[in-house]
Amino acid sequence: MGRSSASSSDSRALVIESLDNGFGAIMRGLNVAKALDDATVKTVRETWARHGVLILPDQSLSHGQLEAFTQALGDFGCDPFIEPMADHPNILELRREPFEKATNFGAAWHSDWSFQACPPSGTLLHSKVIPPVGGNTLYADGHRAWEALSPTMQSMLEGLRATHSAAFAYGPRGVLAKDSRQRTMKIVISEKAEETESHPLVRTHPITGRKSLFVNPVYTVAIEGLTPEENFTLLKFLYDHMVKEEFVYRHAWEENMLVIWDNRSTMHFAEGGYDGHLRLMHRTTLAGDRPS
């Protein structure tokens, strides 16, 4: 785990601890409940983009403070198919009560809202109540997954495009529509989820310039121009490759922890394993640009 430091708006040193292989970093010495100067915001943005996942422990935040920090990083993104908090339309409350038996939210590898024309650049998740067991979040590094492919495979994949859709999850015939078990989170099932969007299979990060694989099992429908058999074979290979152990970081949550991840270069997976316990998180989304 490597360390570096930078000055922050309140004159304390920011300590940045890089996790193994540079995927993920912990930033200490920053209180995001306070207004941050431009230099500090720039450091946060660059560190988040460089490492893919940025962890900020010990952040006691009100809803308003979470919103203000999100806006310091960029504009709010659009969160379709989930009802936000009544008084905070840009915050999603990810609450799972002890009695719930429905599958926990986010329990499959995905990149948030990749079916949008301009998918979100990032997601912020703030922990309020953490169960004593389970509930880890896994992150997969699309950059290193791309870089580990052979030049021949890279050459074949570059220039391909993939179709994305929310139908599998949020469509009238999707998995969430078929799950009748009680769920505290308000999911919106809609025919609009069946709309599609085309994105490059290999995406270039607008800040770092690094390339990454940009497909995921929940929202990617097909690689354009391939037969169904070719699609199944190639997508299965890519999905298996992207979540190899050497590309995955398993995050164990603590209360009052804020994590920012980069949807342009990562996938994530929310583990369950905490039935009988309350888990409460608050989430905001950062607007993104059209993948290229």
Q: What is the DSSP string of 258-275?
A: EEEEETTTEEEEE----T
Residue 292 placed within a domain: no
Task: In whole angstroms, give the CA distance from residue 74 to residue 123.
Answer: 11
Residue 146 placed within a domain: yes
Mean pLDDT of the region 216-227? 98
pLDDT band (50, 70, 90) for residue 179: confident
pLDDT tens-place string over residues 185-207: 999 999 999 999 999 999 999 99
pLDDT tens-place string over residues 94-114: 999 999 999 999 999 999 999
State the chain's mean pLDDT as an integer.
Answer: 95
Residue 236 placed within a domain: yes
Q: Please give the DSSP secondary-structure letter assigned to residue 118.
A: S
Residue 28 φ then ψ, to 5°: -115, 160
Residue 229 placed within a domain: yes
The reported pLDDT for the residue numbered 13 is 80
Q: Please give the DSSP secondary-structure letter assigned to residue 222.
A: E
Residue 177 placed within a domain: yes
Mean pLDDT of the region 158-174? 96
Q: Please give the DSSP secondary-structure letter assigned to residue 243.
A: T
Q: Residue 259 in contact with residue 201, Cβ under 8 Å?
A: no
Task: In whole angstroms, give the CA distance from residue 112 to residue 262.
Answer: 9
Q: State yes or no: pLDDT of 7 exceeds 50.
A: no
Task: In whole angstroms, give the CA distance from residue 177 to residue 96.
Answer: 18
Residue 162 placed within a domain: yes
Q: State yes or no: pLDDT of 10 exceeds 50.
A: no
Q: Residue 120 in contact with residue 265, Cβ under 8 Å?
A: no
Q: State yes or no: pLDDT of 1 exceeds 90.
A: no
pLDDT band (50, 70, 90) for residue 180: confident
CA-wise closest residue to 189 among 36, 38, 37, 81: 81
pLDDT tens-place string over residues 111-152: 999 999 999 999 999 999 999 999 999 999 999 999 999 999
Task: Give me the numbers of helices (H) and strands (E) for the chain, helices first please.
Answer: 7, 16
Residue 124 placed within a domain: yes
Task: In whole angstroms, give the CA distance from residue 282 to residue 127.
Answer: 7
Range of the domain at 241: 2-286
Number of domains within the chain? 1
pLDDT tens-place string over residues 26-65: 999 999 999 999 999 999 999 999 999 999 999 999 999 9
Three-class secondary structure assignment of 1-34: CEEEEEECCCCCEEEEEECHHHCCEEEECCCCCC
- Any idea what the CATH number is for the domain that residue 65 is in? 3.60.130.10
Q: How far apart are the first and last CA of the chain?
A: 32
Which pTM does this prediction carry?
0.94
Residue 291 placed within a domain: no
